[in-house]
Structure 1
Amino acid sequence: MVATGGETLRRASTQRMFGARGWARKYELRLFVTDTLVVSLVMIGAHAVRFGWDPLVGVTGHASPAYWQVTVIVGVLWVLQLGWTRSREALVLGHGPQEFQRVVRASWNTFTIVAIVGFLTQWQVSRGYLLFAIPLGTAALAVYRAAWRTWMHGQRDRGELLAQVIVVGPMLTSQQMIRRIQRSRRAGYSVIGACLPAGHQFVDADMHDIPLLGAVENAAEIAKRENAEFVLLSGTDAMSLRESRQLGWELEGTGIGLIVAPAMVDVAGPRVSMSPVEGLPLLHVDIPRFEGGKYFLKEAGDRLTALMLLAVGAVPMLVVAALIKVTSPGPVFFRQERIGRDHEPFAMIKFRSMYVDAEHRIQELRERQRAEGNEVLFKMKDDPRVTPVGRFLRRFSIDEVPQLINVLVGDMSIVGPRPPLRTEVEQWDDARVGRRQLVKPGITGLWQVSGRSDLSWDESVRLDLYYTENWSLAGDFVIVLRTVGAVLFGRGAY
């Protein structure tokens, strides 16, 4: 067993990722089979809903095919697109939004190709047929891929389905890289050792279980000897540009991949572009912008979504309000000052989940128990201030629903950083933390889908800062989907 950051992890399996017997090929085959099954069922269903069970009904237009042929062709094209967009590539499975983004791109490509062929041939393929099949199929693909991902997470928590990695580079950056990998085991990497500059060794206690395998200049030979699948270059301080290139050459033909960690961390792909200069790949990092067209789209989408959800949830919200009123004295809603975008205060609205004297008792509880590893954010399990109904509301985040009103009036977003209390802001001793307030706070966010109350203060800040500088509309959609899972299973909520 290996202890990392207070969490006990099982030793990783030695099963390899690649190769004829590797887990990647087996997993990709399973995805191919289920891709084919889902697409087939969706296309058959679309045909049945639009045309009944008559397979011979024809497409309108000169020399047009029958719809059963269109169903087969679109289905085959769709499955091929899922392969061509590399949505089943092992390196994007189990972690991050890329798998789902590629699934959406495959569906869009399929729709576009069919539309172009229909335009060029003047075949009038039923729009209802396509508009039923493509969106429904995309949603079905996303749901079952999420189910597979949940299964993969369980396997990786047990030390399976991991790639064996050797970390190579300076001591400090290597330590930081190893810690991040160990905290994110579901990303699919297992560190089996490290190569440091000659004469260097790890000094921190949490690195005692990481074997030092040799010096950085011998990394390629060591990786072959240890049967590693990747060499992760954590920094080039200990190696010249020529030596780094030589390492890549030495790994050629070995089946061992090379991963290079950039010096600038927590920067998402859309902000990074590459331009080669004399064979040197220079990474250009766009300065984050906090206004413009995508912010307008985000705000418009937030308000429209909040309006629709409030309309749909009006009756359930009345039921919750009645339960709160009947089971404990006090108001239905709890209003609390929070700090929003540009450090502007606003009144955040929640269903009341605590007794009315909760605010007066917080200092006593703060002295008795702070959240573990958290110097600023106060959270505690089994909080005695929470009512029985409130405990249920909190477990499934129902108490957060009235924040849709804050979204509707423009104080918050659906997705964003956690809205801090004024007392928390006053304790910030690092200027970087204030960058969270460059965007509107959210009802949900990376902090919520990554553990919510189980996160330490530093990890919560890191995730919020990452979101602030790298958010995208597609990323927001993925966070909302992950939030549904976090809410249903009550992960990190108390």
Structure 2
Amino acid sequence: MTEIIKLIKKVLQVFCLIIIDLFAFYASLFISWTLRSEVMPYFIPHLPVFNFSYIHFVSLWWILAVFIFFIFYEGLYESNLPFWDEVKNIVKSISLASIAVMAIVTLGKMGDIVSRLVLLGMWVLSIFIFPLFRLWGKKLLYDIGIWRERVLILGAGNAGRLVAEGLQREKYMSYDVVGFLDDNEQKKGTAFNGKKVFGEIKHFPEFIKELGIKTVIIAMPSLPVERLSVLTSAVQNHTPNTVVIPDLKGIALLNTKLFHLFYEEIFLMNIRNNLKSLTNRFIKRFFDTTVSIISMPLLLPIIALIGTIIRLETSGPAIYAHDRIGKNGKTFRCYKFRTMYKDAEEKLKEILENNKETRAEWLKNQKLRDDPRITKVGCFLRRTSLDELPQIFNVIKGEMSLVGPRPVTKEEIEYHYKDAAEICFSVPPGITGLWQVSGRTNTSYEYRVKLDGWYIMNWSLWLDIAILFKTIKVVMKMEGAY
């Protein structure tokens, strides 16, 4: 009976995801059809006459079937991926489906019944609409209990608690942590973030059955290989999904590929540093330049407006340049909006000399939470990170990147970066970065340095795109900045 219930729930999950994709498909189609039939003729008068109704496109069911097929082929009706990983696969499946539909229309000479402009518009719109509909839809399904998979974590140490915390935050993945098992008697009966430690690890078969567990996470990276192998094999006999957290902390894994030597029963890990590739460095630079130039018509009026407001509040230049360390340790002039009074350096020197606590805070973070040097306009600019907008000119000049490590001073490198400096400054610094979307100034300086190193070793163009979108959210919410 239990297996039948699990099967019904799985079928219901897939059915609900297909319904969500249907809504996304027809929303994309409707907007694209409206743009072609109602908007574009006003701007391009010589377009061919467009007589297709929206119902006509809806009746072309095979287009929807192609989209659903490619989404299914990418495993997007069964995966439990984090949001941005799934978005990457959605973009891939939508693009393949759109190309396939275009090919069918062209080779089948169906141009008289299908508008290629509508299909092209739908392709672009779907890339944004499908992920948004899935984000909202999965949140709703999680809240009502349909998109929810019960998870048991073996190991209530630091790794286990971090996993539980991450999965509770990333509800998009559907994982619902029920609790922990751990061999430490002192932890039995205690709770972490509301999740209880039930008992010893050896009793996992009983708890899997009793709690209806579908996924078990083995979060004991320090466990000897022999014991980990035995435990993993045992768990696999009792649950469909087993996740193992390996002892690979500090190793770049996003660009890792596994190879299997079957006869020797050995796995090889090919770990790539993508930014060592000349092709990837060119792609990153091309992306930076293209996005910067395209965004200029939008940014220039904003930059001019902010500059005017700064000048109205206090005398002095609206933009200032400060020496920062760039790629390969080369110094460059980094542009920012002026957010401080003209005598800021004198004020800082006086404050640090007279207040030990403030001096300690400055040495630790290179920032002050209640900084008397900052103007009222400057406070707003810093909280929204708009003070960094002029750095777009540094990007165009090739001194910075849209995404990268933090641009820092020589003193910060000597005090904080030390051995990490070689890695962190092997690429241009960025306007935003992993540090920006991971707590900003709420995080310790040491952690920010680690994030910079992690970003470089795990770089991909998709990671840059994801960070840029996450930055928009963080800036709008004014999270972690002062």
Superposition TM-score tier, normalisation by shorter sequence: 0.7 to 0.9
Distance 2:460 2:387 in 1: 27
After superposition, where does 1:176-255 map in structure 2 within 5 Å? Answer: 176-179=159-162, 181-182=164-165, 185-188=168-171, 190=177, 192-196=179-183, 216=201, 218-221=203-206, 223-224=208-209, 228-235=213-220, 238-241=223-226, 244-245=229-230, 247-252=232-237, 254-255=238-239
After superposition, where does 1:348-367 map in structure 2 within 5 Å? Answer: 348-363=334-349, 364=351, 367=356
The answer to whether 1:54 aligns with 2:52 is yes
Distance 2:141 2:329 in 1: 40
Distance 2:263 2:87 in 1: 36
After superposition, where does 1:337-356 map in structure 2 within 5 Å? Answer: 337-356=323-342
> What SS does structure 2 have at the residue aligned with 1:182?
helix
1:84 to 39, 60, 73: 73
Distance 1:297-1:382 versus aligned 2 partners, 3 A rule: same
1:122-161 Cα deviation digits (max 9, x unpaired)? 44454322211111122222344455678899x7xxxx96
After superposition, where does 1:15-414 map in structure 2 within 5 Å? Answer: 19=6, 30-48=16-34, 49=36, 52=50, 54-55=52-53, 68=57, 71-89=60-78, 91-92=80-81, 95-124=82-111, 126-147=115-136, 163-168=150-155, 174-179=157-162, 181-182=164-165, 185-188=168-171, 190=177, 192-196=179-183, 216=201, 218-221=203-206, 223-224=208-209, 228-235=213-220, 238-241=223-226, 244-245=229-230, 247-252=232-237, 254-255=238-239, 257-265=241-249, 267-278=252-263, 280=265, 282-289=267-274, 290-363=276-349, 364=351, 367-369=356-358, 376-414=364-402
Distance 1:335 1:206 in 2: 51
1:347-366 Cα deviation digits (max 9, x unpaired)? 11011111122233335358
Distance 1:149-1:368 versus aligned 2 partners, 3 A rule: farther
> What SS does structure 2 have at the residue aligned with 1:97?
helix
Distance 2:231 2:98 in 1: 45
> What SS does structure 1 have at the residue aligned with 2:255?
helix
Q: Which runs of 5 or more residues in structure 2 are unaligned?
A: 38-48
Distance 1:353 1:112 in 2: 49
Preserved contact between residue 218 and residue 244 of structure 2 (Cα < 8 Å): yes
Distance 1:28 1:336 in 2: 54
1:375 Cα deviation from its structure 2 partner: 6.3
The share of aligned pairs that are identical, in percent, is 24
> What SS does structure 2 have at the residue aligned with 1:449?
coil
Distance 1:194-1:131 versus aligned 2 partners, 3 A rule: same
1:450 Cα deviation from its structure 2 partner: 1.9
> What SS does structure 2 have at the residue aligned with 1:330?
coil
The answer to whether 1:442 aligns with 2:434 is no
Distance 1:43-1:310 versus aligned 2 partners, 3 A rule: closer
Preserved contact between residue 436 and residue 464 of structure 1 (Cα < 8 Å): yes
**What letter corresponds to residue 108 of structure 1 in structure 2?**
S
Distance 1:246-1:350 versus aligned 2 partners, 3 A rule: closer
**What letter corresponds to residue 132 of structure 1 in structure 2?**
G
Preserved contact between residue 216 and residue 243 of structure 2 (Cα < 8 Å): yes
Preserved contact between residue 318 and residue 337 of structure 2 (Cα < 8 Å): yes
Distance 2:371 2:440 in 1: 16
1:206 Cα deviation from its structure 2 partner: 11
Distance 1:133-1:395 versus aligned 2 partners, 3 A rule: same
Distance 1:362-1:85 versus aligned 2 partners, 3 A rule: farther
TM-score, normalization by structure 2: 0.80
**What letter corresponds to residue 76 of structure 1 in structure 2?**
A
> What SS does structure 2 have at the residue aligned with 1:112?
helix
Higher helix share: 2
Distance 1:486-1:208 versus aligned 2 partners, 3 A rule: closer
Query: CA RMSD for the aligned pairs?
Result: 3.8
Preserved contact between residue 350 and residue 403 of structure 1 (Cα < 8 Å): yes
Preserved contact between residue 342 and residue 438 of structure 1 (Cα < 8 Å): yes
Equivalences, count: 452
Preserved contact between residue 43 and residue 71 of structure 1 (Cα < 8 Å): no
TM-score, normalization by structure 1: 0.78
Relative to structure 2, which stretch is displaced further, 45-54 or 262-271? 45-54
Aligned to 2:407: 419
Distance 1:457 1:79 in 2: 46
Distance 1:442 1:69 in 2: 45
Distance 1:399 1:457 in 2: 20
Distance 1:421 1:234 in 2: 39
Distance 2:207 2:422 in 1: 44
Distance 1:414 1:91 in 2: 30
Preserved contact between residue 275 and residue 284 of structure 1 (Cα < 8 Å): no
> What SS does structure 2 have at the residue aligned with 1:353?
coil
Preserved contact between residue 167 and residue 191 of structure 1 (Cα < 8 Å): no
1:35-85 Cα deviation digits (max 9, x unpaired)? 2112113224434525756349xxxxxxxxx96377432133223433332
1:314 Cα deviation from its structure 2 partner: 1.8
Distance 1:274-1:222 versus aligned 2 partners, 3 A rule: farther
